[in-house]
Amino acid sequence: MPQVSKIYDPVKYKTPTGSRLNCKGWIQEAALRMLLNNLNPEVAEKPEELIVYGGRGKAVRNVDALDSIIRCLKTLEDDETLLIQSGKPVAVFKTHKDAPRVLISNSQLVPKWATWEHFDELEKKGLMRFGQMTAGSWIYIGSQGIVQGTYETYAAIADRHFGGSLKGTLHVTAGLGGMGGAQPLAITLNDGEALIAEAEEWRVDKRLTTKYLDEKWHDIDAAIQRAVDARKKGEAVSIGVVCNAVHLLERLCELNVIPDTLTDQTSAHDPLMGYWPHEISPEQAKVLREHDPRKYVEYATRSIYIHVQRMLELKEKGAITFDYGNNLRAMALEYEKNNPAGLFGFSPLARRSPDGKAGRLFPGFVPAYIRPLFCEGKGPFRWVALSGDPEDIAVTDEVVASLFPENRSLQRWLRLAKEKIQFQGLPARICWLGQGERELAGLAFNELVRCGKVKAPIVIGRDHLDTGSVASPNRETEDMPDGSDAVADWPILNALVNTAAGASWVSLHHGGGVGMGYSIHAGMVIVCDGSKEADERLKRVLRNDPGLGVIRHADAGYDLARQTMHKHQLGLPGNEQ
């Protein structure tokens, strides 16, 4: 990792709160507060390294760039736009009041050079940084940002496989970082029992502190026995075990303990910075990572290969197994391609994947459970109270509940979120809203600001794991019926239309969630500042943003998306296809 020229100081870069402006307008102020909130030690995984989550997902390139961005935001006029190139400010241009105040491009590489090896060279030279998804979009809100989507996934699993409830079922996974840390709470909110491996004890402790995790264990066998007993009792409890994922799965296989579901949410997309090899200790791995990164990647990818083989072994014994979007399957297949098949006494993965596609090993969570929601324009709608006052979120919770009284899943989520979700940094909330619903919620929030029912403006954003913002053939766009998995026009169109519609800031990224060469994705944030002009921007952005996703899925051949498109009068005028 390149050394930053200055040290990140959490006191110096404390997130402003309240109703006093530090910038020349609330949109600039929102960008400033959300950037600093991303780096808040309550929110970020490694703020001292500017890493927000996901192995090496950073909010800015270095501390010099952070200082420069802050200066620019504080002087930026209401008709100017700041341009950010992979975490570094490069220009301020005259635009207009409805244009985005910030435009961000992260980690874009010409396709032939879109590899981790080339990215690493550029990063070492200080020319680029990895933005992940919401880290580089300045809209990360801690583990809450993914927990509701994970909750929706496990709710769909409950409906599909277990009669609507996860009670009395055991769900095994790994990874308790900024994304994976949502898993234990999402499972227990659905009344299930979670057993989760995490190699770094401090991550386990962080999830205990924020109440996303219930228990910590060091002895693998004891943790497995605790999980077996909890399943028998129907106890909704989450158990974190400090160990490598491979070691946990090996013991499950040896003991013939078969989980009801099995997945993984380590940062396997980034074998150098995001995945711990099982053959050496984390302490040894840290030294190797620093002094011989090539050897480290060899260790990590070999572990990933064994990891997937163990998952397949448990799958063949009856565990419902799925990929949770970290590119684990593709990394294992790539390792096998570069090494003798049948390594370690396993049958080659290709034998279990006849056409060589990663999705054939076991399905990804999007095609298996989430895609019907995408077809209705549903996705992760998140909002943040710039005031810093949790009461503002309580007010918005009431408004969302009153807008959609018939949505029982949403009502249950809002109730559980109030009880179970601990705020990290600026108070925030997330829920999944569909086409038409996001626009209604945005306008209602803007009215709250206008009438003074909240103490400062509200920021609306989303994850990039959304209906029309990502091209990712091993995750969001896996197994599209027309074969358009790798078509990346859609996220680029998403960024363009959100820019044209007047989003407050817009970003276009490469590689988030699955790594270099595997995805292109776009982010959008819009500010409710209480103005009439904001009403018009909200109408455009919150209709167009999910609307393009509905059109994308209709174009791929999904009947549900076509029905949604016609219901909301999206697409081409007069098009009756």
* Average pLDDT value for the chain: 93
First to last CA, the chain: 51
Whole-number Å distance between alpha carbons of 546 and 131:
22
Read off the tokens for 34. Answer: 């959300």
Residue 577 pLDDT > 60: no
431 is catalytic: yes
Residue 3 pLDDT > 60: no
Q: What are phi and psi of 171, to 5 degrees?
A: -125, 115
Average pLDDT over residues 320-327: 92
Q: Helical H runs in 317-458?
A: 328-338, 349-352, 365, 371-375, 390-403, 408-420, 437-450
Residue type at position 285: A
Beta-carbon contacts of 105 under 8 Å, excluding residues fewer than 6 positions away, are: 84, 85, 86, 507, 508, 509
Residue 1 pLDDT > 50: no
Higher pLDDT, 169 or 420: 169
Residue 341 pLDDT > 70: no
Residue 234 pLDDT > 70: yes
Q: What percent of the chain has pLDDT over 70?
A: 96
Residue 41 pLDDT > 80: yes
Residue 387 pLDDT > 70: yes
Read off the tokens for 114. Answer: 């879109």
Q: What are phi and psi of 510, to 5 degrees?
A: -125, 130
**pLDDT on residue 224:** 98
For residue 212, the 8-state DSSP code is: S
**pLDDT on residue 359:** 54
Q: What is the pLDDT of residues 246-288, one digit of tens each?
A: 999 999 999 999 999 999 999 888 899 889 999 999 999 999 9
Residue 472 pLDDT > 90: yes
Nearest to 129 by CA among 37, 4, 36: 4
**pLDDT on residue 146:** 83
Residue type at position 75: T
**pLDDT on residue 343:** 62
Going from the N-terminus, what domains does the chain have, and what CATH number goes with each? 1-140+457-569 (3.40.1770.10), 144-268+270-324+326-363 (3.40.50.10730)
Average pLDDT over residues 157-166: 95
Average pLDDT over residues 312-323: 95
Q: Report the C-alpha dihedral over residues 58, 63, 64, 68, rounded to 10 degrees.
A: 70
Higher pLDDT, 234 or 341: 234
**pLDDT on residue 339:** 83
CB 457 within 8 A of CB 528: yes
- For residue 84, what are the β-bridge partners? 89, 104
For residue 4, name the pLDDT band (cuts at 50, 70, 90): very low
Average pLDDT over residues 58-83: 97
Read off the tokens for 484. Answer: 């358009």
N residues, the chain: 577
Average pLDDT over residues 107-121: 96
For residue 575, name the pLDDT band (cuts at 50, 70, 90): low
For residue 5, name the pLDDT band (cuts at 50, 70, 90): low
CB 494 within 8 A of CB 577: no
Whole-number Å distance between alpha carbons of 179 and 198:
13
Q: What percent of the chain has pLDDT over 90?
A: 82
Average pLDDT over residues 176-188: 90
Average pLDDT over residues 329-355: 75
For residue 13, name the pLDDT band (cuts at 50, 70, 90): very high
Average pLDDT over residues 351-357: 64
Q: How many distinct helices (H) and strands (E) make up the chain?
A: 20, 17
**pLDDT on residue 54:** 83
**pLDDT on residue 355:** 60
Residue 342 pLDDT > 60: no
Residue 468 pLDDT > 50: yes
Q: Which of 23, 243, 431, 528 is catalytic?
A: 431
**pLDDT on residue 482:** 96
pTM recorded for the entire structure: 0.88
**pLDDT on residue 354:** 60
Residue 466 pLDDT > 90: yes
Higher pLDDT, 69 or 465: 69
For residue 147, name the pLDDT band (cuts at 50, 70, 90): confident
Burial of 455 (0-12, 13-18, 19+ CB in 10 A): middle
Lowest mean pLDDT among 19-23, 149-153, 478-482, 537-541: 149-153
For residue 145, name the pLDDT band (cuts at 50, 70, 90): confident
